[in-house]
Amino acid sequence: MLILKNGYMIDPASGTEGYRDILIDTENGKIARIVPQGVLAEDDAEIIDLNGQMVAPGLVDVHVHFRDPGFTHKEDIHTGAAAAAKGGFTSVVLMANTKPAVDNLETLTYVLNKGKETGIHVYTCANVTMGLQGKELTDMESLSGQGAAGFTDDGIPLMDETLLRAALRTAAKCGKPVSLHEENPTLIQNNGVNAGKAAAHFGIGGSPREAEISMVERDLRIALEEEADLSVQHISTKEAVDLVRQAKKRSSHIFAEATPHHFTLTENAVINYGTLAKMNPPLREEADRLAIIEGLRDGTIDMIATDHAPHSAEEKAKPITEAPSGIIGLETALSLGIRELVDKGYLSMMELIEKMSLAPARLYHLNAGYLKEGGPVDLVVFDPKKEWVVKEFASKAANSPFVGESLPGVINYTICGGKVVYRG
């Protein structure tokens, strides 16, 4: 048995907030008791005195890239899981743009089995189309039956409207969401850089906001007609935020995610950091950043997801038009949420934790995101005021524009299944 004493518990599922002691059955991986501070007295239990630190459900990230199989020089499932644990995440959902892609049962089984070797819960989406080619649907029902958490061709938008309709219908039948990368490639000259001040700085065409707006508009229309769960991934424009806001008034099947980098940075970061701030969709203008924050504040954007996208230093050292897009995010996400959203008064800590645990867990039907007697012992313990310097990563990669910054929110314990998987 393990007792977490003197912790300040935050549970978005019940709305509970306050000092609690938590008795953990480490053998069964369940929470045995949650009681007011100072009540528990178990002589044979290990005791960890948290001294007022916050205790919250383990964070849930439903948009990560662990690059395994096929690109393990960037990341693999074990190093990705270690980065997740260091960042306070106990559950992650992997994207399926691997090589081979997760369009078949063999690759799906490989990923899920390797995930079981880590200390956290590793789930994965399967592809919507074979080989991410946008031409032929995968056997979505079989993949769902064998454990696919959802469906996506993340990184590549679905341009065929008929195929998208069929995918949404099948996913709805399976009870699984479809998450979509919303950028029309026919409108983009150079991906990863906003077609504005940043593109002008590099003397390139860039990626215009219309590339996202047009796809979001189309896909929301189709999802509303099909009454299927659709998640708009890594939203980047104020217009797309408003399109989601209007669609959510008509249907409970519409969801959206925002990344920490999109609510923290603007295209100025690409000018300052170059390829370390190149990503798809690109960082845009201050008005877009503020619209994303407002979307998080008013519930338009349901969840925060990192789009953790590791790349090697050699790849990111290439010229701006050749380097791959994406940054790592698992180890800085909670801290950026605290600094940009909680400390600046946009969200309460309860609301931040809800968007980083309970809301994504609900969309993907995961048993996570809450603290309850008899429930899973997946939790994070952190000090929201203490600061740390971003410098060393558990990830294989270090492609982050936040290196060297001092951030609030020191994670001291990540506990998954009743076991300490990260100790700060």
Torsion sign (Cα): 395, 356, 60, 148: negative
Count other Cβ atoms within 10 Å, centred on residue 177: 25
Instruction: Determine contact, residues 136/127, Cβ cutoff 8 Å.
Output: no
Q: Tell me the Cα Rg of the chain.
A: 21
Burial 358-382 (b: 16+ CB within 10 A, else e): bbbbbbbebebbbbeeebbbbbbbb
Among residues 103, 154, 288, 307, the one annotated as catalytic is: 307
What is the distance between the alpha carbons of residues 152 and 129, in angstroms, rounded to a whole number? 8
Instruction: Determine contact, residues 79/71, Cβ cutoff 8 Å.
Output: no
**Cα angle 144-149-155, degrees, rounded to a multiple of 5:** 105
Q: Is residue 307 flagged as an active site residue?
A: yes
| Angstrom distances, CA of residue 233 to CA of 157, 193, 254 | 11, 17, 11
What is the distance between the alpha carbons of residues 118 and 113, in angstroms, rounded to a whole number? 10
What is the distance between the alpha carbons of residues 334 and 347, in angstroms, rounded to a whole number? 13
Active-site residues, by number, are 307
